[in-house]
Structure 1
């Protein structure tokens, strides 16, 4: 059974679709700017997806918890890692009650950890909030003792 509008094999998003994501967030009323430094490396699909989802979740959180804030998305590319910073200013309006307990922050931590990247987040001195993810440009090697067939 197919659902209307459902794409059976829709591709997972990559950083190439960041502009589309920012456009969607802007249309929801969030003021967002983006800045990129360095030459983007060719990333594996898993790293691309993780970076996209971390940015997406941080923007979603800013929409819910920082109404009226301005958000800046920064992507810094180096040969060994990409750094993604999503920072918002202090909200200008009171946030509406949350629709439920989410697991977005936990999901961001898990995405970074599985790639042996890092994630830092927290309040900023100006009353805003920031998320900084550093992800490797290549997937980490699997330790030999975890490879099937090794004693």
Structure 2
């Protein structure tokens, strides 16, 4: 409900009550017409403030009902900044207020007439000043809101500038440090591939070189993404999809099998989450379970899509590689963004299982 409606109804009721009491006290049967016109003009003040105010003046002159005129004068003042209009309306109202009492004095110098002029002038001035005060208050509130929005915009720009600086620094570090190390791995793997005569070593070196080249390519896209942050071209391209899963598994250097029953029409964020989950799971198998076999299974029912990566127990001792478990943390975050869940844990035969569950109802 509009909070102004009760106020308007109360003002209208006050004007009606004053009109009834004025008619009773004046005992003028013809006074009902100007009073009725004045009361009926009040609802039109919002749309036509000046004409509605002028319609209230006859009620002031004949029976002496001043409430509609005071209300009209206030509304005109709250809608206009033109002091000529406000002065004219104030003079008309003051003259209307004084006119019924003018016959009480034979001369304008009579003290009662002078006091009446002063009182009624102040009465006409009060709603004008009140309307201007409230208008200035509304304009000041709007200006303060604009200043607040401008300050918020500046704060956001400063934050974006700081973030862009940090992203550029991170991009430089990734390019200068990680790219250098991975490039050395790729070069040494290529040299080993050429120099060795062992077929298994040659194949392993080829896999290492291919993985290094793929990592460098993705790293280049990551650096471009960090540097382009805040511009329209911030999307990391090319984005992996489910069609790239077979190539991912084939290049993982793991005896892995893909069992896929993927529904059609999956959105790109879902496909990307599945790809990254399988990629991280196979990376963990290589790091922590050398010689293990893995099964990548993708299934779905009416409500959920399930991705399960299960590996057997390792057959060779694994190297103690540094790990902060950021990969699993990132997978949990990806799952949460899609309203899904990620479960990890050992299996009964000494292996390990990672399971991603995504709702199909929201992303299918």
Does the pair score TM above 0.5? yes
Report how many aligned residue pairs link the two structures: 134
Task: Judge conservation of contact 1:41–1:78 (CA < 8 Å) in 2.
Answer: no
After the TM superposition, which segments of 4 or more aligned residues of structure 1 sit over 6 Å from their partners?
none
Could you list the per-position Cα deviations for residues 20-60 of structure 1 after superposition, in whole angstroms to 9, with x for gaps in the alignment?
Answer: 101111xx3x11011123x5231111111111101110110
The structure 2 residue matched to 1:59, chosen from 279, 282, 294, is 282
**1:95 aligns to 2:318 (yes or no):** yes
Partner of 1:109: 332
Q: How far apart are residue 101 of structure 1 and its match? A: 2.5
Structure 1 residue 20 corresponds to structure 2 residue 244: no
In the alignment, the residues of structure 2 paired with residue 81 and residue 44 of structure 1 have an alpha-carbon distance, to the nearest angstrom, of: 14
RMSD (Å), alpha carbons:
2.2
Q: Which structure's residues are more often helix, by fraction?
A: 2
Q: State whether residues 81 and 136 of structure 1, in contact with CA within 8 Å, keep that contact through their aligned partners in structure 2.
A: yes
Structure 2 CA distance, aligned partners of 1:64 and 1:21?
16
TM-aligned CA deviation for residue 78 of structure 1: 3.1
Task: Report the Cα offset of residue 137 of structure 1.
Answer: 3.0
Identify the residue that residue 152 of structure 2 maps to in structure 1: none
Of 131-140 and 88-97, the range deviating more from structure 2: 131-140
Query: Any stretches of 5+ residues in structure 1 without a counterpart?
Result: 141-151
What is the TM-score of this pair, normalised by structure 2? 0.34
Bigger radius of gyration among the two:
2
- TM-score w.r.t. the length of structure 1 is 0.79
Distance 2:287 2:323 in 1: 11
Aligned position for 2:347:
124
Is the partner of 1:47 in helix, strand or coil?
helix
Q: 2:260 aligns with which of 36, 39, 59?
A: 36
